[in-house]
Amino acid sequence: MTGNYLESIARLLQEYLQHWSEDQPRLEVLLKQVEEQDRELTNRKNMVGHLTGSALVVDDQNRVLLIKHNMLKRWLQPGGHLDFEEWPADGSLRELVEETGITVDGHGLKLHRLHGKFGEGLPIDVDSHKIPENPGKGEGPHLHHDFQYVYELSEGAHKLNLQEEEVSQFRWLPLEELLSGAYGVRLQRVAGKILTFSR
């Protein structure tokens, strides 16, 4: 991994924290890894923590797409590991397409208008969360440093083609349902950001 990539990630985090300074304590490990020039930040074998990208899709009825993650057994937004030196926004979109089969051109998929309020390429949320060990993949417990982006679908009907080795089901939920916390604190926080700043 080059120093230029790490410097770009550092700048992205600095700009993000200018808007969401309250998130800094949650990102201490990631910030330390970037400061120490951890060149394995996109290597999924890095058991301190590595970068991931995720995508929360909002359709024209203000519903969000969640998928049932096979390993974690939880309802989550599509997402996954970044490739070597992959930019988080690019990785979030790639993972969305891979896991759901939604095509960029065929469904009018675009970054949510909310992103324009905070800066080009800035995620709506950055979160470091614990991932349990996975002996089948030879992975111990570690952190995922996830950069989440929000996308809009401009059409009403969406045919999904799930990546079944990763996800088993999908559901569309009203965005407001995430505010209950039933789908986790992170999705609750992101839904609050979307609803607050889209007004």
Lowest mean pLDDT among 70-74, 120-124, 155-159, 162-166: 155-159
Query: Contact 89/51 with Cβ under 8 angstroms?
Result: no
Residue of 111, 119, 108 lying closest to 90 (CA atoms):
111
Phi-psi category of residue 37: left, alpha or beta, with phi > 0 → left and psi -120 to 50 → alpha = left
What residues contact 46, with CB distance under 8 A and at least 6 apart?
A: 38, 40, 142
Instruction: Encode 46-107 in three state secondary structure.
Output: CCCEEEEEEEEEECCCCEEEEEEECCCCEEECCEEECCCCCCHHHHHHHHHHHHHCCCCCCC
Give the pLDDT confidence of 70-129 residue by residue, as tens digits: 676 788 899 999 999 999 999 999 998 888 888 766 557 777 777 767 766 799 999 999
Q: What is the DSSP letter of 181?
A: S
pTM score, whole prediction: 0.90
Backbone angles phi, psi at 190, to 5 degrees: -65, -45
Domains of the chain are: 3-197 (3.90.79.10)
Query: Contact 131/144 with Cβ under 8 angstroms?
Result: yes
Give the pLDDT confidence of 3-62 residue by residue, as tens digits: 899 999 999 999 999 999 999 999 999 999 999 999 999 998 999 999 999 999 998 888
